[in-house]
Structure 1
């Protein structure tokens, strides 16, 4: 079958505008073919929304594209170059096991990256094999789709194929490739790479490309590069607040894992917090807690400062003036983040208007949650339902006093109790991808080839605000033995 016919029948409409940037930003490279690909996870809803042919993509020719064995017409596979601060240390990076196949143009004219993760070695592999194991790819599939269900900007997962080959990660594991969809894969680290290893005109070309692709309304403004910085700051202030509001911990907030588009990317050692504790860390490699839950806002601000540094040559000819412009913009982050967080917390508590003491009310609840080691998600779920379990938190005098203050606060607004409950239901998920539930699904899929548990979990997580009967089972907390849960990057 010709590539053009495959393209027409499957619905791919591929271009690669990124390849029109200077060649220093990428390396042209085809995926390394695999022996016997098998489709094990496929996101039909996402495929349909992209204007792709769901049935054709599940046939041999479609699966071959997901495996990197076939390149559809219009594609120009490449590995992107970028750098980054990893745990505070700057280094050259790049796509070491991923290839951007191209950008799919949807029927609505939207442009999205199609990337294969685990597609083989690249010039940026740094000694790695360029492959991926099934477990981590399925994990990214589950968590990214859960984030989408929660309404949090995120890359998404279109498909996972097993390769029929073995990868070695201390033990033999099943090889797999994830097809990832993103607004783009341009990162803070992409700009750091340009700042360090490219000239000013190449940096300008990258910035102009980002403006045209992600912020077209900014392009016509005076000092568009300053507005670019401000747009990225705004996006991250919103994104990190959304993470905090659902107890999501990214785990590796390196600058190469912060997108310019404002989407969450790279679901390696991420997890959702059970017991509320700002010091919570799940990642096995985050020994000092740099990326703990409570540190995520300050780390985001630190990463944005690194982004601002790269733009200095574009912000103003006079370096001192450029630094001042950058600093003035960065100084807005904390206020923007806190405004987003406070607004989201008001929603979680059913509060429609603003009062000065709201911050004190919110902090009061979080303090007693931390003191009594309360579950983050279920505390807000039970407040929403006003169905309090017999826990140390709800038995405490502190909660009784807080509850009276909260009810008085709700009585001072015009909206009804039913309005508040509706707002809370739309703001407090009944379910999250509990770590033990994710591990249960991965174990069944990887060890037994049973995807039923994973598919049921995905179904439940697709609408986390439904408060359905089915979701009650998934709100059950893990046993105490799982409190030492650790995640790994899977590379």
Structure 2
């Protein structure tokens, strides 16, 4: 399909006007294409050479609107760092409409009703980070939004310093957040709360459309999806950084990439957002915060779902739903096919060993994927190899209870434990080059993001330990 043949739908606009406001995108000055993602283009039926179309940059800049588009921004609220904020919404995002089940959105397209005195723009650096990381997460098998392309410009914006603005076209099967429900709960607009629930069923859970117990069942599905996504974050070492309820997707997608980070050396208490002074959103707290956020969602849904039923499911979330999702992911990382009760202790001891060993998280699991009893390679990457040795003794005994051969286990683990992840120092290098007009590393990292499990000889240096000066640094929310 050519860009001129696109016809967008806007089902969200069937809701009442309190759910959104109309906003035309505000174009950037002298826009230029930084990168086009053909993998995302395929999802919406676009030709894979659409990035070469003269209308592509205007599409991302908001000066070319496909047929059927009625640009709008969505209203929502949310708990930010534990405190309720009644006035959030798409402060710098403009929704164009949906195509093939994907909602297309321009991030950084200017002021909206919900901008809260801000300029509605997005910095080049944060736009590159989101563009690349959303694609990396998808190819790591983690539910996420996607990105079709990114443009830069000569438009200047003030953050900590003067920076250049960019726009990313984001794609999601849903942009509904926990905070979307909170908005109508706290304003006591329960009829609209129910209308939003019906919309969510139509968009995200159509199999429940005619179910008399559909509202409770969507809550159950949200719990399952949240548990799965959070478990996958923990397994791969992803730190979101800002797990506010307005950044939590009802589909369990990873959304709103702010000061995120992948673990360098394993650090259970790592805080990637340097404005998070108390460590509310630290790596180790992410499962607890997912539960906390779900309790706020349950409160928002209480006018249409009995509290007692939701609380029972929340109790299950902490007792079994999330722990089982995490165990499932970790068994795959460790190549364990048999399901044994002792695995919980094995994994718990591994976390302690990694904490004591001062070892690169991704590198450890990748080398472990080749493990056949030879411990030397694992010793070599640890500052404290004794911690690794003690755990490997337990792991060896556990492997004796497996039915697969070492070769079969290694093959499966190499498809589960990535060789390449996008670390902050890599993204920063791409940003610095892009700020000078060189977008080659953005494209290189996109290629790496799409092939995390493959052997890529030309990028072998990116599979090595993070340089010491860049390990587990903090990032700013400013974007």
Shorter-chain TM range is over 0.9
Describe the SS at the equivalent of 1:381: helix
Aligned pair in 2 of structure 1 residues 9, 115: CA closer, same or farther (>3 Å)?
A: closer
Supply the RMSD in Å over aligned alpha carbons: 1.7
Aligned pair in 2 of structure 1 residues 13, 229: CA closer, same or farther (>3 Å)?
A: same
Which residue of the partner structure matches residue 444 of structure 1?
Answer: 433
- Once residues 470 and 332 of structure 1 are traced to their aligned partners in structure 2, the CA distance between those partners, rounded to angstroms, is 47
Answering whether residue 291 of structure 2 is matched by residue 291 of structure 1, we say no
Of the three residues 180, 186, 202, the one matched with 2:192 is 202
Equivalence map 1:108-187=2 (5 Å): 111-187=101-177
Does structure 2 retain, via aligned residues, the 8 Å contact 1:393–1:399?
A: yes
Answering whether residue 90 of structure 2 is matched by residue 101 of structure 1, we say no
Which residue of the partner structure matches residue 326 of structure 1?
Answer: 310
Answering whether residue 390 of structure 2 is matched by residue 406 of structure 1, we say no
Of the three residues 355, 362, 366, the one matched with 2:347 is 362
- Once residues 98 and 139 of structure 1 are traced to their aligned partners in structure 2, the CA distance between those partners, rounded to angstroms, is 16
CA shift for structure 1 position 217: 1.3
Describe the SS at the equivalent of 1:14: coil
Which residues of structure 1 form unaligned runs of 5+? 1-6, 106-110, 316-321
- Once residues 32 and 301 of structure 1 are traced to their aligned partners in structure 2, the CA distance between those partners, rounded to angstroms, is 38
Which residue of the partner structure matches residue 416 of structure 1?
Answer: 405
Does structure 1 retain, via aligned residues, the 8 Å contact 2:270–2:472?
A: no
Which residue of the partner structure matches residue 319 of structure 1?
Answer: none
TM-score, with length taken from structure 1: 0.93
CA shift for structure 1 position 412: 1.7
Answering whether residue 475 of structure 2 is matched by residue 480 of structure 1, we say no
Does structure 2 retain, via aligned residues, the 8 Å contact 1:247–1:272?
A: yes
TM-score, with length taken from structure 2: 0.95
Describe the SS at the equivalent of 2:452: coil
Aligned pair in 2 of structure 1 residues 179, 301: CA closer, same or farther (>3 Å)?
A: same
Aligned pair in 2 of structure 1 residues 385, 392: CA closer, same or farther (>3 Å)?
A: closer
CA shift for structure 1 position 390: 4.5
Answering whether residue 303 of structure 2 is matched by residue 345 of structure 1, we say no
CA shift for structure 1 position 229: 0.6
Does structure 2 retain, via aligned residues, the 8 Å contact 1:160–1:176?
A: yes
- Once residues 205 and 330 of structure 1 are traced to their aligned partners in structure 2, the CA distance between those partners, rounded to angstroms, is 24
CA shift for structure 1 position 370: 0.5
Does structure 1 retain, via aligned residues, the 8 Å contact 2:356–2:384?
A: no
Which residue of the partner structure matches residue 453 of structure 1?
Answer: 441
CA shift for structure 1 position 452: 1.4
- Once residues 150 and 180 of structure 1 are traced to their aligned partners in structure 2, the CA distance between those partners, rounded to angstroms, is 18
- Once residues 22 and 202 of structure 1 are traced to their aligned partners in structure 2, the CA distance between those partners, rounded to angstroms, is 8
Q: Which sits farther off after the overlay, 431-440 or 58-67?
A: 58-67
Answering whether residue 276 of structure 2 is matched by residue 281 of structure 1, we say no
Aligned pair in 2 of structure 1 residues 332, 467: CA closer, same or farther (>3 Å)?
A: farther
Summarize deviations over 1:340-393 as a string: whole Å, max 9, x none. 111111111111011121111112222111012122111111111236155474
Which residue of the partner structure matches residue 67 of structure 2?
Answer: 73
Answering whether residue 69 of structure 2 is matched by residue 85 of structure 1, we say no
- Once residues 360 and 243 of structure 2 are traced to their aligned partners in structure 1, the CA distance between those partners, rounded to angstroms, is 24
Q: Which sits farther off after the overlay, 28-37 or 343-352?
A: 28-37
CA shift for structure 1 position 394: 8.0
Describe the SS at the equivalent of 2:206: coil
- Once residues 167 and 55 of structure 2 are traced to their aligned partners in structure 1, the CA distance between those partners, rounded to angstroms, is 16
How many residue pairs align between the two structures? 473
Does structure 1 retain, via aligned residues, the 8 Å contact 2:346–2:395?
A: yes
Describe the SS at the equivalent of 1:129: coil
Q: Which sits farther off after the overlay, 149-158 or 63-72?
A: 63-72
Aligned pair in 2 of structure 1 residues 403, 471: CA closer, same or farther (>3 Å)?
A: farther
- Once residues 156 and 48 of structure 2 are traced to their aligned partners in structure 1, the CA distance between those partners, rounded to angstroms, is 28
Of the three residues 433, 449, 460, the one matched with 2:422 is 433
Which residue of the partner structure matches residue 3 of structure 1?
Answer: none
